[in-house]
Amino acid sequence: MKLSKYSLFIGLLWLVAGVVITASATIRVSLLTCGPGEPVYTLEGHSALRLQFDDGRDVTVNWGLFDFADPGFEWKFAKGRTDYLCGACPTIAFLNEYRYSGRSVVEQPINLSPEQAELLVNLVEQNLQPENVKYRYRYLSDNCATRPLNIIEQAIKLSGDTLRFLSPADGGKETTFRRELRQYHVENQLYQLFIDIALGRDVDRPITDRQRAFAPLYLSRLIERGQIVDPASGQASPLTVGEPVTLVAEASGCRSSEPSAWVVVAPVLVWALATCFWQIKRKRVCRWSNALFFLLYGVLGVMVAMLMFWSEQEATGANRNLLWLNPLLLIVPLLIWWRKCQKIMKWAMAVFALATFMFIFNYMFSSATSIFVSLMALAELLMAFSYYWVAERTDLTSTTSSSSKR
């Protein structure tokens, strides 16, 4: 959600903050889970906490506020320095926003004691202090889902109890962040292709059931298996009470179908196959095709390298895609026109082909690598190998010279 639409959230909460907790107040706490929408940053859903008081006050607290209009927002996001805000507003305003956008909102009441509910509201008020309202957003570890969960757990711990979760129905089958992301991006293959290229090996390590709750849609399932345990007696009570209630139904057509990743990958693969066939059949290098192809891949390589070495975004380090998306690919469009550089080009292509083959051989059949990434790497292998094959069998310097005389 955009801060520009919710800039009054914090102020609205502080209008009631002074009387949020009273000795006789009954506080009902619920987790609100919002369904995915059309923007890619909503595909995993959204979470918020609803606080209801016996005097009629009804406030929703939200850790997902940001502002696209913030100067340099895209630059900050690329560098991993995006700050999100915690804010609050009347629940009716929160629900109306999702009703307007056509996204569903489901409520799950949390089974907290009066003491635990008061402790939770105290923690929320601390989050809304001016010095605490801003936090450094982390896509996989510190976001709008992990913050409410941490608040609930802290309140339970402060009361002397502990929070535990029963094993999932699948028995805790091993998974990774990348696998989790893919299930939320089934209808957004282009976005997942970007993630598969941009994120490194850290997203392929096994994660715990608790870590899967980085996604709000999974958090709603996780808390259904939660239990509040009294360490003294060992007695456990469910974390949620009653059945989930749909406050806002999803509107039809709120999520438009996105183009398949094939619209990008198929033309690139056909381009590489056609160039490879033409070069081997005619024993000549198609310089324009190679220059444009490796310019595209080189630019992608610069982006991957910047994310890996320069960005603070989590999980962008140790990116194996640098084997085939390398900034050095940019030497091709620069040197391919120079006759004196043809020997350098030949051996450079051999290196590019070998590095890409190593990537495909090691990772093509790995669950960490999608079929689309593998095919894009295969396209580069075809281009580099066919160039080397032609260069090894012909004198590119004389070919260029004779071509220019004609």
Of 64-68, 71-75, 201-205, which one has max mean pLDDT? 201-205
Return the pLDDT at 106. 97
Return the pLDDT at 55. 86
pLDDT digits (tens, 9 = 90+) for 239-271: 999 999 999 998 876 666 778 999 999 999 999
Statement: residue 2 has pLDDT above 70: no
Q: Is the dihedral of CA 185, 191, 197, 199 positive or negative?
A: negative
* Tokens describing residue 213: 């709750």
Question: What is the mean predicted confidence (pLDDT) over 18-38?
Answer: 74
- Is pLDDT larger for residue 68 or for residue 98? 98
Of the candidates 392, 380, 362, the one whose C-alpha atom is nearest the C-alpha of residue 285 is: 392
Return the pLDDT at 259. 84
pLDDT digits (tens, 9 = 90+) for 299-309: 999 999 998 88
List, in order, residues 6 or more apart from 221 with CB less than 8 Å away: 168
List, in order, residues 6 or more apart from 278 with CB less than 8 Å away: 286, 289
Provide the 8-state DSSP code for 256: P
Give percent of the chain above pLDDT 70. Answer: 86
pLDDT digits (tens, 9 = 90+) for 196-243: 999 998 899 999 999 999 999 999 999 999 999 999 888 999 999 999
Ordered strands of the 162-165 beta sheet: 162-165, 226-229, 236-238
Statement: residue 83 has pLDDT above 90: no
What SS3 class is residue 145? coil
pLDDT band for position 368 (50/70/90)?
confident
Statement: residue 170 has pLDDT above 80: no
Return the pLDDT at 148. 97
Give percent of the chain above pLDDT 90. Answer: 65
Of the candidates 51, 48, 37, the one whose C-alpha atom is nearest the C-alpha of residue 145 is: 48
pLDDT band for position 366 (50/70/90)?
confident
List, in order, residues 6 or more apart from 371 with CB less than 8 Å away: none
Question: What is the mean predicted confidence (pLDDT) over 276-287?
Answer: 93
**Burial (CB count <10 Å: 0-12, 13-18, 19+), residue 165:** middle
Task: Kindly write down the DSSP assignment for every residue of 188-216, as one continuous string.
Answer: -HHHHHHHHHH--GGGGSB--TTGGGGSH
The predicted model scores a pTM of: 0.85
Of the candidates 12, 10, 53, the one whose C-alpha atom is nearest the C-alpha of residue 30 is: 53
Return the pLDDT at 160. 95
Question: Across all residues in the chain, what is the average pLDDT?
Answer: 86
List, in order, residues 6 or more apart from 225 with CB less than 8 Å away: 165, 166, 167, 168
Statement: residue 340 has pLDDT above 90: no
pLDDT band for position 403 (50/70/90)?
very low
- Is pLDDT larger for residue 326 or for residue 13? 326
- Is pLDDT larger for residue 167 or for residue 363? 167
pLDDT digits (tens, 9 = 90+) for 146-156: 999 999 999 99
